[in-house]
Amino acid sequence: MTLETISKAKAFDGVQGVYRHQSVATNCEMTFAVFVPPQAKKQKCPALFYLSGLTCTHQNVMDKGEYRRMAAELGLIIVCPDTSPRGEDVADDADDWQLGKGAGFYLDATEAPWAAHYQMQTYVRDELYDLVLANFPIDPARVGVFGHSMGGHGALTLALKNPEKFKSCSAFAPIVNPSSCDWSTKALTAYLGEDKATWRNYDAVQLIEDGARYDTILVDQGSADGFLDDGLKPWLLQDACEKAGIDLTLNMREGYDHSYYFISSFMDDHLRWHVARLG
Distances (CA, A) of 104 to 50, 200, 224: 15, 16, 26
- Classified as helix, coil or strand, 3 is coil
CATH number reported for the structural domain that contains residue 207 in this entry: 3.40.50.1820
pLDDT for 182: 83
**pTM, full prediction:** 0.97
- Classified as helix, coil or strand, 148 is strand
> What is the pLDDT of the chain when averaged over all its residues?
97
Residues with Cβ within 8 Å of 227's Cβ and at least 6 positions away in sequence, in order, are: 149, 173, 183, 258
- Classified as helix, coil or strand, 144 is strand
- The pLDDT-based confidence of 109 (bands split at 50, 70, 90) is very high
d(CA 59, CA 82): 8
pLDDT for 251: 98
pLDDT of 88 > 90? The answer is yes
pLDDT for 183: 82
Measuring CA to CA, which residue among 170, 181, 188, 273 is closest to residue 236? 181
Other C-beta atoms within 10 Å of 59: how many?
14
d(CA 278, CA 221): 23
Q: Sign of dihedral through CA atoms 32, 38, 41, 44?
A: negative
- The pLDDT-based confidence of 279 (bands split at 50, 70, 90) is confident
Q: Supply the DSSP symbol for 256.
A: -
Residues identified as active-site: 149, 225, 258
pLDDT of 191 > 90? The answer is yes
d(CA 226, CA 232): 10
Q: In what order do the strands lie in the sheet with 28-36?
A: 4-11, 14-23, 28-36, 77-81, 45-51, 138-148, 169-172, 216-222, 247-253
Encode burial over 218-248: b for 16+ CB neighbours within 10 A, e otherwise.
Answer: bbbbbeebebbeebbbbebbbebbeeeebeb
Number of domains in the chain: 1
pLDDT of 2 > 90? The answer is no
Q: 127: domain range?
A: 4-278
